[in-house]
Amino acid sequence: MPKNYFKAYPSDEGLFNEYGGAFIPPHLETEMKKINDAYFAISKSHKFISELRSIRKHYQGRPTPVYHCNRLSNKYGGQIYLKREDLNHTGAHKLNHCMGEALLAKHLGKKKLIAETGAGQHGVALATAAAYFGLECEIHMGEVDMEKEHPNVQRMRILGATIVPVTHGLKTLKEAVDSAFEAYLKDPITTIYCIGSVVGPHPFPMMVRDFQRVVGVEAREQFFEMTGELPDNVVACVGGGSNAMGIFSAFLEEDECKLYGVEPAGKSFKTGEHAATMTLGSPGIIHGFKCYLLQDKEGNPAPVHSVASGLDYPGVGPEHSMLKDLKKVTYDSITDQECIDAFYELSRLEGIIPALESAHAVAFAFKLAKENPKQSILVNLSGRGDKDLDYVVDTFGLPD
């Protein structure tokens, strides 16, 4: 890895080697440039940094702890640690970038935040940020996800957001992004698109990564304080890749830390039954940027499935795409069933109910622990499972 990684990537054009960039209409280009310039100016200002720091501490409840899983480590081998992003306000890592994006929106004089949501976690986080800053909020969500994640729909409504149901295509995350993008294109002056992951046109993948870096910075310090070492392995689930970039960012320049991104293998590797973008995709363009993509022969995004709505995306962040090619991060996948097993295992052995997204990372950590009983594994527990309770019990039942 180059020294000064964060200065080198992305380039001024928003490129992570061949990935990323901004494939967007000209009038949006102007808006993206404005956002980029404003971000560079204010993200380095003392006022912005101290305001964000204060929000993280007094409002979000950061730093979130790192926890050593005694019972799981005894059972699976290895030493398994969790970075507890499930304890971040609103129950997932997403508030980290939403508070940053909303603070930036406020600075730019925007009136309204627009976004898509999959599991509803990004929508809840953004609606929370909008309430905090006194901004309007419009969330686009696929009808299938609205049904599956009903408690989050109610949460967003209680927080004052407007929900726009998306009724075309598979009615999940990809269609929700299309719909939110369209709404933003109609009024890019008073509104701002607050993307939910390290995806989309430049500068979003960079900004969201930077706002999520706090996870890695904290975790590295906490892990070192607990053990006197750095972790041998760092594991995170990858949908778009924001929680993974957050925790990986603190270890990218360490050759001795192995990094693993975990994708959903779903029900099978048949088209439409998984969302294993890195495992089965090829470079292509989606939502204004280049990345590994699950696509058909014409380059249209393929249908995807995961038991975890937040991982249900045919693309992936451009930085992850580059890190795969550089072999700096290893990408692997976990099936729906392995995810459900890990969901119950963590609940019953440690008293922590994980989000189904995070349970993918946990399931992979179990495999890693069995193969490497002497090594330490730091898992980013990106969120809590409250949103998934009814769905899991109704669909899969309780284990014995």
Ligand X SMILES: *Cc1c(COP(=O)(O)O)cnc(C)c1O
Q: How far apart are CA 165 and CA 205, in angstroms?
A: 25
Residue 93 beta carbon to ligand X: minimum distance, rounded to whole angstroms: 6
Catalytic, 257? Answer: no
- Strand partners for 40: none
**Rounded least distance, CB 244 to ligand X, Å:** 6
84-121: burial string, b at 16+ Cβ within 10 Å, e else? bbbbbbbbbbbbbbbbbbbbbbbbeebebbbbbbbbbb
d(CA 124, CA 91): 10
CB of 3 to ligand X, least distance (A): 27
The neighbouring-strand residues paired with 266 are 335
Nearer to ligand X, 60 or 197 (CB): 197
User: Does residue 254 contact residue 279 with C-beta atoms inside 8 Å?
Assistant: no
Residues in touch with ligand X (CB under 6 A): 92, 94, 119, 121-122, 197, 237-244, 310-311, 355, 357-358, 382-383
Candidates 93, 122, 274, 305; catalytic one:
93
CB closer to ligand X out of 77 and 126: 126
Nearer to ligand X, 36 or 121 (CB): 121
- To ligand X, the closest distance from the beta carbon of 391 in angstroms equals 14
Q: How far apart are CA 155 and CA 32, in angstroms?
A: 30
Distances 159 to 111, 124, 141, 163, 281 between C-alpha atoms, Å: 16, 8, 16, 11, 37
What is the closest distance, in whole angstroms, from the C-beta atom of residue 6 to ligand X in the complex? 18
Structure tokens at 212: 């999520």
Q: Tell me the closest approach of the beta carbon of residue 323 to ligand X, in angstroms.
A: 13
Query: 69, 137, 291, 339: which one is catalytic?
Result: 69
CB of 241 to ligand X, least distance (A): 5
Q: Which of residues 69 and 361 has its CB atom nearest to ligand X in the complex?
A: 361
Between 69 and 119, CB nearer to ligand X: 119
What DSSP string describes 261-307? Answer: EEEEEES-SSTTS---HHHH-EEEEETTEEEEE-B-TTSPBPP---S
CB-wise, 137 or 199, nearer to ligand X?
A: 199
Closer to ligand X by CB, 77 or 127: give it: 127
Residue 149 or 341 having the CB closest to ligand X: 149
Closest-approach residue to ligand X (CB): 383
Question: Strand ranges (DSSP E) for 318-390?
Answer: 329-335, 376-381
* Residue 100 token pair: 């940053």
Minimum Å distance from CB 400 to ligand X?
27
User: Cα 222 vs. chain centroid, distance in angstroms?
Assistant: 21
332-359 residues labelled b (16+ CB within 10 A) or e (exposed): bbbbbebbbbbbbbbbebbebbbbbbbb
68 labelled catalytic: no
Half-sphere exposure of 7 (CA within 13 A, CB side): 3
Beta carbons of 263 and 332 less than 8 angstroms apart: yes
d(C-alpha 59, C-alpha 132), whole Å: 9
Q: Tell me whether residue 362 is exposed, middle or buried, using C-beta atoms within 10 angstroms of its C-beta: 0 to 12, 13 to 18, 19 or more.
A: buried
Catalytic residues: 69, 93
